[in-house]
Structure 1
Amino acid sequence: MPSLTFVLPHWLYWAGLIVFPVFAMVMARRTKARARVHGDWRGYSLPLAYMILIAGGMLGLHRFYLKSLLGLLFIPVFIFILVANGEQREYRASYSDAAALVESAQGAITREGPRIAEMEGQLPDLREKLAQAPEGSIGFRLAERGVKRAEGRIASSKERLARAKTDLETARPAAETAAAGRAFWRDMAAYAFYLLVAMMALDAVLMPWLKRRAEAKVAADDAERRAESEADEILHAVEDVEQGGDQKHLTTGWTGVIDRMSFYAGELVSYWAVIAVFAYYYEVIARYVFNSPTIWVHEAMYLMFGMQYLICGAYAMLTESHVRVDVFYAPLSPRRKAIVDLATSVFFYIFAGTLLFTSLIFAWDATVVDEVSFNEWRIAYWPMKWAMVIGGLLLVLQGISKLAQDVRAVANPAGGA
């Protein structure tokens, strides 16, 4: 299998976090507007089909989207690649162990052979000294001890040498077998991968025809066409309810400007979840298909989700999505809720102000020293730190908007209990 050495450029990462959500927001509004104009089911989306081909083509998901059961042919090939790579990893581990044992045994043979010869050459002199020393004397005991020590060392070295030769005899064939098995499964995985790529390339060429055929099938079946139209209508209705539920919190005037800033910021970063799908899909394919795990995917995603968490704070406050205890708060009238919010807002401003102030310090320090990550990707941290500032600023502004709305609710007698 070929290996993947792609590392995401820093500029592409930061640009993608801005360009992709904007593009997704525009396309979502365009699709929804077209659905409202035409009403009926408008067919399959060719750009979406190609996107599915890129993201899930190895599993044939684009075929399933276009109502083709031939997508089932992709699944066993993909599973075979995973199995082949698993076998390859097993053989690689076995080869590594056997190769280490061969190297250790060869080192022992190289080391113990001369040592035995040297000690055996010294042994006659030691025995001669023992024979010449008067029995029972100190010299005799020292010579006797020297002979026994030399004989013990020779025996130990011979034992290690024999063990090393035995290990070499068993480990060398095992290493050769593991190397052959690893090469076999590597080739099998590569052939299956090339087959999968060829199938995906063929489908990329046939995609317009597959789209027309799928639409013709639906058009020929009135029941299926009605089902598709009803499904689209239900989906649009659910989207309208969800979006309408969030947009009902938008106000008018200068507070409405702040509300819309929080709303669109939250909508923008919500599309980062789609980026995460593509990123982790790439990581899984790189790790389990190409045996090329990455470092940058994990860091890119936890940085992205950290920024998303902070920037979405104002959106959550706008839509009242923060977790809170509603046992006493929920039954209150809007005016009394506003009074409670005003009384407890001091705690919010302590938190939000501290977040904004400390984030500003972190961002400035990161910019001055050009802080980067500690791993080999070495991405700059200052954009993420400034995203913390943006999140804190949006949260403070949304708090000001909420404060103004609460003051209006308290001052308006119509909102009283």
Structure 2
Amino acid sequence: MSTHESDTQEHEPKNFLDHAMKWLGDVASLLFLLTVLISFYEVVMRYVFNMPTMWVHESASFIGGLLFVLGGSYALATNRHVRVVLIYDIVSGKTRRILNVFHHLMGMLFSGLMVYASFHMVSAAWYSPWGGFKLESSGSAWDPAFPALTKLWILIIFSIMFLQFLLHLVQEIAAFRSTK
């Protein structure tokens, strides 16, 4: 197997959830094109026709924020997260598996804490202090509910990432046991 083939194989999704998140990330990446198009529209409207929009900036920021959050799950699904390769690449296969288990455990801890925190953010953004349903909005002249929707998206993605880390941990432990 060539180096290129092993690199490609290393970045392939490892389970059904990774496949789903890779597919979602690939499809959602087209939203970057939408962001460029509406930003171009804003520039033309503002500088050619002197008729600026009130919705483009918030919409582009909202889309970009959603894609940024999705990027963490996509990176995890395709094994392209940040690691200290200086150390990782020189250790034995067994030590790599141990480092991977540690990575997955720390990832579960981090994403679990983020789920907890984002749940409280969503609760505050979706309900008024007296318990009625009211989405938090931007407070601008257009006033979309993008802050509430973004916070829900963060909760969903970190919940998915927690499951991804759990599946990766189970797969790593199974692989570790099969090599003994």
- Same-fold call, TM cutoff 0.5: yes
**Preserved CA contact (<8 Å) 2:13 2:79:** no
Q: Which amino acid in 1 is paired with 2:123?
A: W
Alpha-carbon deviations, 1:20-58, whole Å to 9, x = none?
xxxxxxxxxxxxxxxxxxxxxxxxxxxxxxxxxxxxxxx
Residues 363 and 346 of structure 1: is their aligned pair in 2 closer, same or farther, counting only changes over 3 Å? Answer: same
Q: Distance in 2 between matches of 1:405 and 1:335?
A: 14
How big is the shift at 1:248? 5.3
Alpha-carbon deviations, 1:227-279, whole Å to 9, x = none?
xxxxxxxxxxxxxx9xx93895223xxxx222222212222321111111111
How big is the shift at 1:352? 0.6
Q: Which of 157, 175, 178 does residue 409 from structure 1 map onto?
A: 175
Alpha-carbon deviations, 1:332-377, whole Å to 9, x = none?
3444312112124332222111111111111122111321111111
Matched, 1:320 2:79: yes
Which structure carries more helix by proportion? 1
**RMSD, aligned α-carbons:** 2.2
Q: Distance in 2 between matches of 1:246 and 1:285?
A: 44
Q: Distance in 2 between matches of 1:280 and 1:393?
A: 31
Q: Which of 142, 162, 170 does residue 396 from structure 1 map onto?
A: 162
Tell me what 1:375 maps to: 140
Corresponding residue SS for 2:86 = coil
Tell me what 2:131 maps to: none
Q: Which structure 2 residue ranges, 5 or more long, are not aligned? A: 129-134
Matched, 1:276 2:35: yes
Tell me what 1:265 maps to: 24
Q: Distance in 1 between matches of 2:62 and 2:11?
A: 31
Corresponding residue SS for 1:307 = helix
Q: Which amino acid in 2 is paired with 1:299?
A: E
Q: Which of 103, 106, 113 does residue 354 from structure 1 map onto?
A: 113
Residues 317 and 265 of structure 1: is their aligned pair in 2 closer, same or farther, counting only changes over 3 Å? Answer: same
Residues 283 and 246 of structure 1: is their aligned pair in 2 closer, same or farther, counting only changes over 3 Å? Answer: farther
**Preserved CA contact (<8 Å) 1:334 1:409:** no
**Preserved CA contact (<8 Å) 2:104 2:168:** no
Q: Distance in 2 between matches of 1:350 and 1:266?
A: 24
Tell me what 1:249 maps to: 12
Corresponding residue SS for 2:144 = coil
**Preserved CA contact (<8 Å) 1:342 1:406:** yes
Q: Which amino acid in 2 is paired with 1:364?
A: S
Q: Determine which structure has more spread, i.e. the larger CA radius of gyration.
A: 1
Alpha-carbon deviations, 1:297-322, whole Å to 9, x = none?
11111111111111221110121222
**Preserved CA contact (<8 Å) 1:280 1:297:** yes
Q: How many residues align?
A: 168
Q: Which stretch shows the higher mean deviation, 341-350 or 399-408?
A: 341-350
**Preserved CA contact (<8 Å) 2:104 2:166:** no
| Amino-acid identity (%) | 27
Q: Distance in 1 between matches of 2:104 and 2:82?
A: 16
Tell me what 2:152 maps to: 386
TM-score with structure 1 setting the length: 0.38
Q: Which of 45, 60, 64 does residue 305 from structure 1 map onto?
A: 64
**Preserved CA contact (<8 Å) 1:318 1:398:** yes
Q: Point out which structure has higher relative CO (alpha carbons under 8 A, 6+ apart).
A: 2
Residues 301 and 246 of structure 1: is their aligned pair in 2 closer, same or farther, counting only changes over 3 Å? Answer: farther
**Preserved CA contact (<8 Å) 1:373 1:379:** yes
1:36-75 maps to which residues of 2 (within 5 A)? none
Q: Which structure 1 residue ranges, 5 or more long, are not aligned? A: 1-240
Q: Distance in 1 between matches of 2:9 and 2:34?
A: 23
Residues 409 and 247 of structure 1: is their aligned pair in 2 closer, same or farther, counting only changes over 3 Å? Answer: closer
Residues 263 and 335 of structure 1: is their aligned pair in 2 closer, same or farther, counting only changes over 3 Å? Answer: farther
